Amino acid sequence: TRLEEAGVHVVYGLVNLKTHAKLCLIVRKEADGIRRYAHVATGNYNAATARVFTDLGLVTTRPAIIDDVANVFNYLTGYASALDYATLIVAPVALRRRIHELLEREADHARAGRHGRVIFKLNGLTDPDIIQALYGASQAGVRIDLIVRGICCLRPGVPGLSDNIRVRSIVGRFLEHSRILAFGARDRRRYFIGSADLMPRNLDRRVEAMTPVDDPDLQARLQEILDVNLADDTLAWTLHGDGSWAKVPSDAGVNTHLRLQELAFERARRRRPADAEPAPAPRS
C-alpha cells in the first residue's frame, strides 16, 4: 500500500505461480540517449539477508539478456505470453528441459571418450526427474560434483548408479545461498547463475530465471568460488551413499568463508588508489 501511495505500480504475479526470480531492469535517460541495464541475481533484494547470505548477481547491458528480462516482466504483468527466451532459462517455461539437454550433452561427451563434467552449487536437490538425469550422466561417465547446502535426495557413490557423483555441504558463518550451474570441461565450460534450486516447486510452480555468464573474467570468478568450495576441509561435510553425512577431515585448512573474504580484500586492495586508507583485514 505504501508503495502504491508513492506512485509505484505493484504487480502481485501470476495465479498458481510464485515469483521467485531475482530480476531488476533499469531504463535511464543518459547523454547519448536511452540506456537499459539488467541485474540477474541469486539472492533476494533484502537488506537483512544480504548481510548473512552468500549470493551472486550479474549487472549487464547485453541486449539479448535485457530483452529477455523485459519479456519476463511483460509476462508477469500480463502484457505478453510465456516465451522461449533467447538467453535466460526461465521456469516453468524451459528450465527443466534445458537442464536435461545440458546433462545429456555431457553424457554424449563422456560416451565419446571426451571429458564430461558437471558442477552444481545449490540450496536443495530434491527433484526426482533431475536426480535420475544426474544418475544417467554418472553412468555415462560424467564426473559430477554437487555442493548442496540443504536437503539432497540424491545418493552419491552407489556402485553402478552414482559412482561418479560426489556431494558436499558447506556449513559456516554465512548461509550459502548462491546457485551456480557449470557444464563441461574447463576449455568449453558453460556457467549459469540464478534463482532456482533443483526442486519440483522451483522447476514447475515458480517463476525462476537463470542467466548464462559468458565473460571470461566473470567465469573465472565463478570457477574460483567453485574451486574454493570443493577444496574446503574446514566447513565441509560429505554425503555418503547410505544418506549419512560426515565431516571432511581437515588437512590444508581451507575455510570457504574466510578464503572468499581474503580474495575479496585482495581485489579491493588492487583497485584502491595508492593514497587511500588501507583495506581492513578479513575477520576469521
Long-range CB contacts (within 8 A, 24+) of 31-38: 35/61, 36/61, 36/66, 36/70, 37/61, 37/66, 38/62, 38/65, 38/66, 38/69
End-to-end Cα distance, the chain: 42
Report the C-alpha gap between 269 and 265 in whole angstroms: 6
Report the C-alpha gap between 65 and 40 in whole angstroms: 9
Q: Which of 143, 123, 137, 146 is nearest to 230 (CA)?
A: 146
Cell of 99: 537442464
196-to-122, 137, 159 alpha-carbon distances in Å = 8, 21, 29
**Which entry of 9, 20, 100, 109 is annotated as an active-site residue?**
20
Cell of 169: 555441504
Residue 255: phi and psi, rounded to 5, are -110, 110
Give the single-character DSSP code of 49. G
109 noted as active-site residue: no
Angle (nearest 5°) at CA 145 between 142 and 146: 125
Question: What are the DSSP calls for 14-32, one per residue?
Answer: -TT-EE--EEEEEEEEETT
Catalytic residues: 20
